[in-house]
Amino acid sequence: MSPNLALNQQVAERRAAGEDIVHLGFGESRLPAFEPLVAALVAGARRNAYGPVQGDAGVRAAVAGYFSRRRLPTDPGQVVVAPGSKPLLMALNLVLPGDVLIPRPAWNTYAPQAALAGRRAVAVAIPAEAGGVPDPAELCRTVAAERRAGRDPRTVILTLPDNPTGTLAPPALIREICAVAEREDLTVVSDEIYRDVVHDPAVPFLSPCEVVPHRTVVTSGLSKSLALGGWRIGVARFPADGPGRMLRDQVLSVASEVWSTLAAPMQEVAAYAFAEPPELRAHLAAGARLHGAVARAVHAVFTGAGAVCRPPAGGFYVYPDFEPLRPVLAAKGVVDSPSLARCLLDRGGLAVLAGHLLGDDVGALRFKAATSMLYGDTPALQWQALRSDTPLTLPHVAAGLRRIEDGVRRLVS
């Protein structure tokens, strides 16, 4: 089972046994559904017929507009809609040839999907400045070494902004990776599902699709930005022509055999959401602000305790490194990623996803913490957090932050 889901189960069992645990191990946005989205679903509730495999024409036009507004001019024919971006990424794994290069650490689904599709996944270390992308020099070296070994690296997956590090690779870095992709003839899969959760709208976002559009497939969805994980709405944008167009046709062929279509009532939701009317933009902006404020606060807790951690720029994650505290931790038997996560849970009452479960070095003292679990356990508390100009001062958010502080203190002292 996916390790985050296994952790979920473990947390549920410990809570049932009476333990007080702060669950920072699940990548869910933890906000209520925005009311116009609910209204769109209800409006679509009588649509019971199979829709087109590629998605409704209206939905694809809306998605094309969404990408076009992000400097990616898009025709509706380039868009495929699906029940989540996971099936789209799996379909790409099933049709793309060769091995796939993924950042280390990375979202814990890329490597297992590659394995299910019978592809080799090759992890490449991320640079110091940001995760979600392989270090360009490392990428070159790895491609060369793989080819010398008779292997066939053909795809690289990027995550912009990144899960698990919560960072956003800057434009210069993207350009370097695109240059490598061009030179080495790699297809770029750019997972941009957190794009609308960049905390500060002034931070520049460069998609590889702006640089090497003919070789880039962009995936996205509504699970993160609109907290619709439970509705399963994903999209992919393919190149307009050439091999990228054929790739779209191959993915559509997989779609028709494996999932048929996005559920018809959900197409109504997608048509509304990807059109981005003003009230939805305001809602998205409020979400990004809240995610940023809380992620920065959690970041401050970890760095305050002595960890090093890249500052979060998007999404709702931080990925601290407790290496500076290795001597202190070693005295408590914490010597690697599994023992760190276990000790945080047993002594600190904090559930986090150990770095090695994300492909990171098992000897490193790193983990992913999902910060969105602090917004509250009820829709009322979550709305309060979303609407507040100072969410950190809300009693329930402040209490959650104190619990993390306490947990970290119990770990290191």
Which chain residues interact with a copy of itself by CB under 8 A?
Answer: 1-2, 5, 26, 28, 30, 32-33, 37-38, 41-42, 45-51, 53, 83-84, 86-87, 90, 94, 109, 112-113, 116, 118, 227-232, 249, 252-254, 256-266
Write down the least CB distance from residue 263 to a copy of itself, Å: 5
Structure-block tokens of residue 170 = 């800057």
Of residues 83 and 359, the one with the C-beta less far from a copy of itself: 83
Report the alpha-carbon distance of residue 25 to residue 349 in Å, rounded. Answer: 12
Burial of 87 by CB count in 10 Å (0-12 exposed, 13-18 middle, 19+ buried)? buried
Of residues 51 and 213, the one with the C-beta less far from a copy of itself: 51
Of residues 82 and 288, the one with the C-beta less far from a copy of itself: 82
Of residues 95 and 275, the one with the C-beta less far from a copy of itself: 95
Of residues 45 and 285, the one with the C-beta less far from a copy of itself: 45
Write down the least CB distance from residue 90 to a copy of itself, Å: 5
Of residues 37 and 124, the one with the C-beta less far from a copy of itself: 37
Reported as type and span, the H/E element at residue 384 is: helix 379-387
Of residues 177 and 386, the one with the C-beta less far from a copy of itself: 386
Report the alpha-carbon distance of residue 223 to residue 275 in Å, rounded. Answer: 16
Give the Cβ contact number of residue 413 at 10 Å.
8
Structure-block tokens of residue 296 = 């920065």
> Are the C-beta atoms of residues 103 and 253 closer than 8 Å to each other?
no
> Are the C-beta atoms of residues 295 and 165 closer than 8 Å to each other?
no
Write down the least CB distance from residue 227 to a copy of itself, Å: 6
Write down the least CB distance from residue 331 to a copy of itself, Å: 36
Q: Mapping DSSP to helix (H, G, I), strand (E, B) and coil, where does residue 143 land?
A: helix
What is the DSSP code (8-state) at residue 199? S
E strands, 322-411, are: 350-351, 353-354, 367-370
Of residues 323 and 377, the one with the C-beta less far from a copy of itself: 377
User: What DSSP assignment string belongs to 24-79?
Assistant: --------PPPHHHHHHHHHTTT--S---TT--HHHHHHHHHHHHTTT----GGGE
Measured in whole angstroms, the distance separating CA 261 from the mean position of its chain's CA atoms is 23
Write down the least CB distance from residue 317 to a copy of itself, Å: 16
Asked whether the CA dihedral 387, 310, 131, 376 is positive or negative, the reply is negative
Write down the least CB distance from residue 293 to a copy of itself, Å: 21
Report the alpha-carbon distance of residue 300 to residue 302 in Å, rounded. Answer: 6
Write down the least CB distance from residue 57 to a copy of itself, Å: 11
Write down the least CB distance from residue 351 to a copy of itself, Å: 16
Of residues 67 and 272, the one with the C-beta less far from a copy of itself: 272
Report the alpha-carbon distance of residue 413 to residue 405 in Å, rounded. Answer: 12
Write down the least CB distance from residue 135 to a copy of itself, Å: 26
